[in-house]
Structure 1
């Protein structure tokens, strides 16, 4: 019998779909929207503060020595992905992909890698967890500044180049709370570690708030009239092709460069993913409210596609590792430390 892979549709994915549906039927407007903007901004700042408070600096230091692996992952994330996105947008006719969706495809390719799912899939595949922790963390911290600069290079934001005020807004909303969390970690780190539910609620709740606001504004400006079914189908195909290129390409590249199988899994899972957690607040700052909903569509689709595809791939890696070594060796101290780390991002 042919065993079909089970779709990994988790509660958060269904909550995202429900949020888009709610914004379509009951978009928030006027003074209520202003109040929710302040609430969403506060939730995002709290989220990055809690991440900073919970992330041990030892995790980054422990994995930083594997510079070839980290350099390859960062090159895939911030060099290869942006160039592929530019190539797709440059060759795709506007009749198939409206300009706002094309901008969303390019924006998707400029985002940092995920953290939690990259680490989880690397662990499931019995790969180098310590390297996955370090590389995905570096990608997310660096992305707070690198992604806006790449947006300035590849896109024109709101009709003009990216301004220093915009970079300052992102730094104030994302980087400053994270740095404050790191500085206050000796006093609040233990409390944050004990309250994992608060971080999970803040993490997912802030994303849902920003998605609701973005899609409410987009619906008010005729979102679903601007995106015909043909464009949605094209967008889905583009996301699938981009993911397939990076899953297959990173696998071949790591083998050609002589990385171990454990390193290969970390590179494949960290170098092929894009972070919804980072993308949602950045889109709210970088793009006008009328555009942000359309820009986020490619990111949201890619988010679920990468989870389903990587779940199947991680299982195959694990089965292959099990066949070679039914009893996995006791992990090295460095890997044990990294495996217990609390990740910077959640999706």
Structure 2
């Protein structure tokens, strides 16, 4: 794999620049309230467009390959949370309480869509199943992630509450449902402008990151968070991936899935969505904005790490398949 391939992408650089801006010029008082209102509107628009992008046929198709999708969902919503809980003793020693809760929050999130599909395609997996599984993961995650957050974080010292779960249902699920209902009228326009809508995703995330880190910096984030804890967060995110990806590969083989389906399970089941996660965090932890920066920091680290690791793994799958095909042709 070339050095160019593992460089941070433009969006990651934009995230880093946003964190730097919030650290140097955080918004305060009335300005922070204005940014907060703008961010709420952007989040509602984001999930409205996500609803409009999802074809109803994809939902129906999800029922036909149910074993694969259940395996992906088990990795996303069962294996990850269990590992997050199992790593609690290590997290309590190495991380600040907010960073550990951020790691646990990562474990509750749905899968990514675009990158899961892209890596599945590169590796030679079942792309159509990846499209359905990743899309369904995000749809189910709108409901299931807040419930997991309410169960896990609230019982382990987190600030999320069941009222926050209700808020996220209203502020995310309702716009999503309205967007899906409006697909018959705006679906064509949405499909023709997918690159533009991608900027909507990224712009919303940058807004949330700026407001979250502004509040965190004002509250003393960098003063109270040691460098050793940041490095430990990176190590714990790497450990999560190192545990999840081989486990999903092993499970797929034990369950008798084909090589193509195994690839889909590995990439869709091991990814976590920052596009969904940061807006959810903003709503679920609205009462403690001073700690929101530390809570979303593990997600930002995990996001970049999963892209780099999955890029390597996808290339290895593709190379292995090419060698196998050459061997068969030689025979």
Does the CA contact (< 8 Å) of 1:89 and 1:105 recur in 2?
no
Who is 2:31 aligned against? 32
Displacement, 1:175? 1.0
Shift of 1:263: 0.2
1:344 is matched with none
Deviation at 1:91, TM superposition (A): 3.8
TM-superposed CA distance for 1:254, in Å, is: 1.1
Cα separation, 2, equivalents of 1:91 and 1:200:
37
- The offset of 1:3, in angstroms, is 6.7
Local SS of the residue matching 2:154:
coil
* TM-score normalized with structure 2 length: 0.93
Any idea what the Cα deviations from partners look like across 1:179-214, whole Å, max 9, x if unmatched? 111111111111112222331121100000000000
Among 220, 244, 260, which residue is 1:246 paired with?
244
Cα RMSD of the aligned pairs, angstroms, is: 1.8
1:67-121, CA deviations, whole angstroms, 9 ceiling, x for partnerless residues? 1111111111111110100111234334x21111111111111111111111111
Shift, 1:161, TM fit: 6.2
What per-residue deviation string (whole Å, max 9, x for no partner) do you get for residues 262-317 of structure 1?
Answer: 00100000111111111101111122101111011111000000000001111111
- Give the Å deviation of 1:8: 4.0
Residues 160 and 284, structure 2, Cα contact 8 Å, conserved in 1: no
* Aligned mates of 1:168, 1:109 — CA distance in 2: 20
1-structure distance, mates of 2:233, 2:11: 22
C-alpha distance in structure 2 between counterparts of 1:266 and 1:117, whole Å: 12
Q: Which runs of 5+ in 1 are unaligned?
A: 327-347
Counterpart Cα distance in 1 of 2:105 and 2:175: 24
Q: CA deviation at 1:64?
A: 2.5
Give the corresponding residue for 2:138: 140
How many residue pairs end up in the alignment?
323
Q: Would you say the 8 A contact 1:48–1:174 is kept in 2?
A: yes
Q: Helix, strand or coil: the match of 2:124?
A: coil
Structure 2 gap ranges (5+): 327-331
Change (3 A) 1:160 1:243: closer
Query: Residues 25, 231 of structure 1: CA spacing in aligned structure 2 closer, same or farther, 3 A cutoff?
Result: same
1:301 is matched with 301
Partner Cα distance (2:18, 2:115) in 1: 22
Q: State the SS of the aligned residue for 2:275.
A: helix
- How far is the alpha carbon of 1:136 from its aligned partner? 1.1
Alpha-carbon spacing, 1:4–1:214, altered in 2? closer, same or farther (3 Å): closer
Structure with the higher fraction of residues in helix conformation: 2
Tell me the equivalent position of 1:70.
Answer: 69
Q: Which runs of at least 4 in structure 1 moved beyond 3 Å after TM superposition?
A: 2-6, 90-94, 157-161
Q: Secondary structure at the match of 1:9?
A: coil
Q: Cα 1:70–1:203, aligned 2, differ >3 Å: closer, same or farther?
A: same
Query: TM-score normalised to the size of structure 1?
Result: 0.89
Could you say which residue in structure 2 is the equivalent of 1:345? none
Superposed, which structure 2 residues align to 1:147-162 within 5 Å? 147-156=145-154, 162=161
Q: How does 1:1-347 map to 2 (within 5 A)?
A: 6-94=5-93, 96-156=94-154, 162-163=161-162, 165-287=163-285, 288-325=288-325
